[in-house]
Amino acid sequence: MDPNSVKSTLSNLAFGNVMAAAARDYQKELLAQGKAQASNSNNEEVDLDELMDDPELEKLHADRIAALKKEAEKREAMKRQGHGEYREITEGDFLGEVTGSEKVICHFYHHEFYRCKIVDKHLKTLAPKHLDTKFIKLDAENAPFFVTKLGIKTLPCVVLFRKGVATDRLVGFQDLGGKDDFSTKTLEILLTKKGIISEKKEEEEDEYDESRRRSVRSSINIDSDSD
């Protein structure tokens, strides 16, 4: 027999053996993976069944429900105190309003001043977003006593109160870039830095934005129905 032919035959046989061994190994690996997945699936089912009766999980759930209920009650109490909206008050209401809440933002304005209307627009947007803080406005012309008492000389003037004490103020737009076209976000960041409003978490932002979108859609639908 031709030596080269013998060598070729042996080589082919060796290659065939290698491929057969590889195929067996691959099949074993697939079987092992299948068993592992089945085992994991069974374990997950057992774990879930155990979790359903886990007293610690039940306690966490009960605590979460209690926290949500407490937060809802707090929000309702805040709304009863005038939080959640940007309201106009009178000089006679002033002391009761600023001492009745821990954090209060009061805009002293003049109805003919264009910049006061810009402040109105931004505070009206922020009020429902920051429920922990009360947002109010007071006509400076109709509140001479407190304008003098607080030393207000330039309008718009936004005075920040904590527990009934005036702790800071924004006079004109000097802290907002000195321009009329500052954004609501710019004012929000400044008020956050001053500690009169709390920084909003991302999920709270998303919830607020979705609420505003629903409100806009609702108002559009109402308008379209009335036409």
Q: Is residue 156 part of a domain?
A: yes
Q: What is the pLDDT of residues 204-220, one digit of tens each?
A: 555 555 555 554 454 44
Report the percent of the chain where pLDDT is more than 70: 59
CATH code of the domain in which 116 resides:
3.40.30.10
Q: Is residue 128 part of a domain?
A: yes
Rounded CA-CA distance 85/79 in Å is: 8
Work out the mean pLDDT of the chain and round it to a whole number. 78
Q: What is the pLDDT of residues 67-124, one digit of tens each?
A: 677 667 666 666 667 789 999 999 999 999 999 999 999 999 999 999 999 999 999 9
Rounded CA-CA distance 15/11 in Å is: 6
Task: Specify the number of domains making up the chain.
Answer: 1
Q: Is residue 220 part of a domain?
A: no
Q: Residue 97: give the domain boundaries.
A: 79-202
The residue assigned the tokens 């005038």 is: 82
| This prediction's pTM | 0.61
Q: Is residue 152 part of a domain?
A: yes
Q: Is residue 54 part of a domain?
A: no
**Where is pLDDT greater, at 198 or 209?**
198
Predicted local confidence at residue 63, as pLDDT: 74
- Among 105, 99, 111, 141, which residue's Cα sits nearest to residue 123? 105
Q: Is residue 2 part of a domain?
A: no
Q: Is residue 32 part of a domain?
A: no
Q: Is 101 helix (H, G, I), strand (E, B) or coil?
A: coil
Q: What is the pLDDT of residues 132-159, one digit of tens each?
A: 999 999 999 999 999 999 999 999 999 9
Most confident region among 1-5, 139-143, 196-200 by mean pLDDT: 139-143
Rounded CA-CA distance 160/104 in Å is: 6
Predicted local confidence at residue 60, as pLDDT: 76
